Structure 1
């Protein structure tokens, strides 16, 4: 489709040649392209049965992370002509994976958000302790890392490519940050905020509400509609949500000691 924008990454070989890899979310599905630089790159759908993340955007970020680990560098976003060749490259090493529905829509505004949140803390250190716990509980299920930010002593968390901005904060004094999440940010970012809300202490407050201002139940099993908004489901997030404490852990029958004697009184 004309106008579809793709995230383009390139691997430069030592002999001077290079190859490209591109990814995009189109209509809720994930597509990639790959091939030698300057040549036609065929559009290939990624079967959902092969996804390891919940949602096209999250799976795209996971696959992009794998490519960068192999040496690919993000160039920016581009389109592809009828001949399958990349064109109209807009250089931006920090670009995110485009979603096709964003191409013809108006620029993103707060009205486009699916979730609103506000974080307050008496100090950056207290906030960092809460974020560290949340990252630790989710890191086995989502790509989590820490990114350096000028003026902030500990860096900031990055969850599946999304990070709270904390713009203007210097790491000194009280912290207040308000923001929003969209479906494209991925369900991992949502679970991170909800885990922070759960483990927050008296010194840290995390408020998370739906776009209509409604509260989010502490038991995510009751939020199937919200999870569907983030291209996920209760079944898909259960392992991560159990480790995070967002839903009760299931009892595994294989772990029950059937040899224990019963006592009747």
Structure 2
């Protein structure tokens, strides 16, 4: 049996569900899921997704690491030193964990899971290229980031033939703010069957509301006013009303 990282999510009704993940030698990852029990029946293999990134996303959704376990081919969960595991034997996450300072943000973590219908996948590919084109036009007017983001090519390749795909990666401060804005703009489109998750180093899930993400703007060394024009073009902010222009237009209407 291979080692897995086991996570648990507590539901509001008191029940819980478990999720486990491991990396394979061929570069894929295998995940298992199910209600908290001595076995996890649901299983799937995924390519193009890094274990570290998907664990971050699960943590952002409220899953808590239980520990490292073994899981056999039938999905039976076995903790080290034990022959089997039952719901009562599974260790509980600490209900009152010690408060520790949040680590400094070093990167954003993102995953994309596209299993939409083909028509939606075609629309997604068109939108990806449109957004990248818009960003290229505005980036020509800005200073070049310290390091190129490899996500641009990943998205172009993944959407080229309108196939289903899964992607994951990081955005560091050296990549600049544009990759994050691109993902937010794509997420804001809410394509059915396309899940886009973005989380901070502390596993906080990010929204598409830029005004609520001031700490992320600081992480990129910028602020809302500095990126407003770009955000408006991408549809993340409503254009500001130009009062001077409005009053000028009104003056032209006087007789």
TM-score (norm 2): 0.46
From the CA coordinates, give the structure whose radius of gyration is larger.
Answer: 2
More strand by share: 1
TM-score (norm 1): 0.44
